[in-house]
Amino acid sequence: MLLEVRDLVIYYGAIHALKGVSFRVQEGEIVTLIGANGAGKSTILRSLSGLLRPRSGEILFQERLINVVPPHKIVSLGISHVPEGRKPFANLTVSENIEMGGFTIRDRREVARSREQVFQRFPRLKERAKQLAGTLSGGEQQMLAMGRGLMSQPKLLLLDEPSMGLSPILVREIFDIIREINSRMGTSILLVEQNAYMALSIAHRAYVLETGSIVLEGGAEDLRADPQVRSAYLGEMVEEGPSVHPFNHAP
């Protein structure tokens, strides 16, 4: 088991954001979290990267409790977070942005090797290495954010809404890259994504969140076929059941 989260509880002031969330990610998996805005998906990623402290519960990474480990040390352990909105350092070049992702690597030669590996995976970034990051297109900025996240050679890559604001063609390209990172590099991925159809098409397993709780989990293909998931998240009309609650069979 690479990552195990047990009964995670998080508050924002008086707001109960996560209500005892438990899930796991095994080595080599793509796991996706789907749910409406405000369900708690990004909160989970922020807690895993050390940006939020849970009120209670446990976060275990390779069997080590990391609840109170500071963010920079979590990166050193092998977790890299690609945030929502990409957040490039707009006034730095593409190359400088990528190098920022390797801040935990002390050996400059290793930084150079990692940067070259990122350029090999994202040749468009190599073409724009000296260009200011703020002048890149949305798709290029997403590639830059992912490349920056890969610089630390993570065991687990946290991706928050990688398709946000991108055209359908670029969305498909980004998801092809995510699948390739997992299959060729062996990097485990925890994916938060509003585009449930694309997320479920590349994931091995999935969890559905609703107002801070996991209400459904299973294999990604099984959830794609689930009538309630199709109705709530894939935009497909299905025959209504007897319950008004969309996930009355939650575990």
* Per-residue pLDDT tens over the stretch 98-110: 999 988 888 888 8
Sign of the torsion angle spanned by Cα atoms 106, 73, 75, 130 = negative
What angle, rounded to 10 degrees, do the helices at 168-185 and 108-121 form?
130
Q: pLDDT at position 17, please?
A: 96
- How far apart are alpha carbons 172 and 170 in whole angstroms? 5
- How far apart are alpha carbons 47 and 42 in whole angstroms? 9
CB 131 within 8 Å of CB 162:
no
- How far apart are alpha carbons 112 and 99 in whole angstroms? 8
Per-residue DSSP letter, 201: H
* Per-residue pLDDT tens over the stretch 61-93: 999 999 999 999 999 999 999 988 878 899 999
The mean predicted confidence, pLDDT, of the chain is 90
Domains of the chain: 3-84+156-233 (3.40.50.300)
Poorest-pLDDT segment among 50-64, 146-160, 228-242: 228-242
Q: pLDDT at position 236, please?
A: 59
* Per-residue pLDDT tens over the stretch 197-226: 999 999 999 999 999 999 999 999 999 999
Q: Is 108 exposed, middle or buried (0-12, 13-18, 19+ CB in 10 A)?
A: exposed
Would you call 36 helix, strand, or coil by DSSP? coil
Q: Is the pLDDT of residue 148 over 50?
A: yes
Reported confidence tier of residue 242, pLDDT bands at 50, 70, 90: very low
What angle, rounded to 10 degrees, do the helices at 168-185 and 138-150 form?
10
- How far apart are alpha carbons 131 and 3 in whole angstroms? 37
Poorest-pLDDT segment among 30-34, 161-165, 186-190: 161-165
Beta strand residue intervals within the chain, DSSP E? 3-12, 15-25, 30-35, 56-61, 64-65, 79-82, 156-160, 188-192, 205-210, 213-219
Poorest-pLDDT segment among 16-25, 52-61, 166-175: 166-175
Other Cβ atoms closer than 10 A to 96: 14
What is the Cα 111 distance to its own chain's centre? Answer: 23
Other Cβ atoms closer than 10 A to 149: 23
